[in-house]
Structure 1
């Protein structure tokens, strides 16, 4: 079964561009859930460019009210600063269903690579244990070509999230077979290690169906940028329902 978690960061980008509370992140998230989305994802960053700590608290309450999963993404190594307490303190306060750890730096426009376990594995181990003590399922952002995917299980993670940007690029260029084989192999290696598999980044209505048909047992897709962009034309309710229809048999 594949769940759809809607990332609402881009709603917050629009709001923050003018100040105030329009568009309303909480209302947008509620609309997604009422349309059938299985959960909400946020990726608060230290520079507060979109989702802020107060949004995380409000969305945590909303997802509990709707009895759906809340997924908080972030770099566990990023130090706290004014307005941003750090990923682990946010998780300690809100106890999300899932914490997705991502190795993004402050200057990155968006997440564009997974963890290097040879470098970061032992640093991640105690942080994963701490997050699990809060009741969080822990997922690690990884590249499909990473030869050490099984290390994620060895250091305590429950899942990986495959960084699907390269697949989306291949889809846009035309031939996808090589990319799909790479991602399918990564998923099989993760399953063999006892890991669940999530996927996210640059997935869209156009490319999602083929990905799910070829990559086995994807438990969750986290989609934000394309979904919010498509919703500008078709509306948020209709767009979420369209994604659910694409996922279709995998739900």
Structure 2
């Protein structure tokens, strides 16, 4: 059986970050999401945080309404499920996927995966509740975690590999060994019946090598680099360039 093509979910947090610097709906989060979808993106990702420094509660709802016009596209809401508002978002809009991330309130960005030796029993009822909403559940995991086999036992469907260490190694002598580590993590996940997503600091420069070296990545969630690159050539063209990488790697 041929491997599934990697889907692109565009994280639009940085669009909201820019908008929030002025009391205007400019740039529009919804318009940005629509441009990405019209260019072929298979999904939209948002990561609301308690301080609402980028995605705000109404954005979660606004994007959900937009996606009703794009039934083939998936809505992915990332966040820490132990913040009450995350679970309220999930119950209200019922996204296709909930990606659970162990962010602290003060974290500037996601910077590590779950420690399931510590957090497994806290996550178990949360995962069950999200599944009852009809959501696919993915856990944000480090590639070197020994706990990947526990993810399926907790009831989750996928892992999202935290790829910042790969991005840091790209173009250095550490790239090969780092890709091998991610490849092994993906193979372990597959053996456990888990799907594999990936995200964090992926870019046009490093995405192709990652997808070539790591098998059966179902989805990449990309925001920071994609939005930055779009300042040069526009959102639709940037999305199309990422899609070409996803289909050719």
Partner of 1:180: 179
SS of structure 2 residue aligned to 1:241 = helix
**Residue 60 of structure 1 aligns with which residue?**
64
TM-score (norm 1): 0.95
Verify: 1:39 aligned to 2:43, yes or no: yes
Say which of 52, 70, 74 aligns to 1:69: 74
Alignment of 1:2-21 (within 5 A): 2-21=6-25
TM-score, normalisation: structure 2: 0.96
Q: For 1:100, what is the secondary structure of its paired residue?
A: strand
What is the rounded CA distance, in whole Å, between the counterparts of 1:165 and 1:203 in structure 2? 8
Q: Distance in 2 between matches of 1:138 and 1:90?
A: 14
The RMSD of aligned alpha carbons is 0.9
Structure 1: gaps spanning 5 or more residues:
81-85
Give 1:174 shift: 5.1
In the TM superposition, what whole-angstrom CA distance separates every residue of 1:73-123 from its partner, at most 9, and x where no partner exists?
A: 000112x4xxxxx11110000000000000000111100000000100010
- Give how far 1:12 is off: 0.1
Q: Which 4+ runs in 1 deviate beyond 6 A?
A: none
Question: The residue matched to 1:121 in structure 2 has which SS?
Answer: helix
Name the count of aligned residue pairs: 244
Note the C-alpha offset of 1:172.
Answer: 4.7
